[in-house]
Amino acid sequence: MSHAFSPGLKVLACTTLRRYRRLPLPGDVLVAPGERVRAKDVIMRTELPGPADMVNVVSTLGILPDEIENYMVRTVGDRVARGDVLAESKSFFGLFTTRVEAPMDGTVEAISSVTGHVTLRGAPVPVEVRAYVDGTVVEIAPREAVTVETTGSFIQGIFGVGGETYGVVTCVADKPSDVLDAASITPALAGAVVVGGGRVTLDALRAAVAHNVRAVIAGGIDDEDLKAFLGYDLGVAITGHEQLGITLVVTEGFGDIHMAEATFELLRACAGKGASVNGATQIRAGVMRPEVIVPDAQAAPAAHSEDTPSVLEPGVRVRAIRAPYFGRLGRVTALITELTPLPTESTARVLTVRFDDGTDAVIPRANVEVIAQR
| DSSP secondary structure letters along 17-68 | EEEEEE-SSS-EE---TT-EE-TT-EEEEEEEPPPEEEEEHHHHHT--GGGG
Whole-number Å distance between alpha carbons of 366 and 285: 17
| DSSP secondary structure letters along 259-281 | PPHHHHHHHHHTTTSEEEEE---
According to the model, what pLDDT value does residue 233 have?
85
Q: Enumerate the CATH 3.50.30.10 domain ranges in the chain, comma separated.
A: 8-17+150-295
Q: Coil, strand, or helix at residue 244?
A: coil
Q: Enumerate the CATH 2.30.30.30 domain ranges in the chain, comma separated.
A: 311-373
The number of beta carbons lying within 10 Å of the beta carbon of residue 285 is: 5
Domain spanning 52-121, CATH architecture: Beta Barrel (2.40)
The CATH topology of domain 8-17+150-295 is: Glucose Oxidase; domain 1 (3.50.30)
The Cα-based distances of 67 to 64, 174, 330 in angstroms read: 5, 77, 79
According to the model, what pLDDT value does residue 285 have?
64
According to the model, what pLDDT value does residue 1 have?
43
Question: Would strands 199-200 and 215-221 be described as parallel, antiparallel, or unpaired?
Answer: parallel
The number of beta carbons lying within 10 Å of the beta carbon of residue 2 is: 9
Global model pTM greater than 0.75: yes
Q: Enumerate the CATH 2.40.50 domain ranges in the chain, comma separated.
A: 52-121
Question: Which contacts qualify for 220-223: CB closer than 8 Å, 24 or more apart?
Answer: 220/250, 220/252, 220/253, 220/254, 220/255, 220/256, 220/257, 220/258, 221/159, 221/248, 221/250, 221/254, 222/254, 222/255, 222/256, 223/254, 223/255
Residues with Cβ < 8 Å from 18, sequence gap 6 or more? 138, 147, 148, 149, 305
According to the model, what pLDDT value does residue 59 have?
92
Low pLDDT (below 70) residues in the chain: 1-8, 92-95, 236-237, 284-286, 297-310, 373-374
According to the model, what pLDDT value does residue 109 have?
96
According to the model, what pLDDT value does residue 6 have?
57
281 class by beta-carbon count within 10 Å (0-12 exposed, 13-18 middle, 19+ buried)? buried
The CATH topology of domain 311-373 is: SH3 type barrels. (2.30.30)
User: Can the peptide bond before residue 324 be classed as cis, meaning omega within 30 degrees of 0?
Assistant: yes
According to the model, what pLDDT value does residue 321 have?
80
Per-residue pLDDT tens over the stretch 299-312: 666 555 565 656 78
According to the model, what pLDDT value does residue 320 have?
86
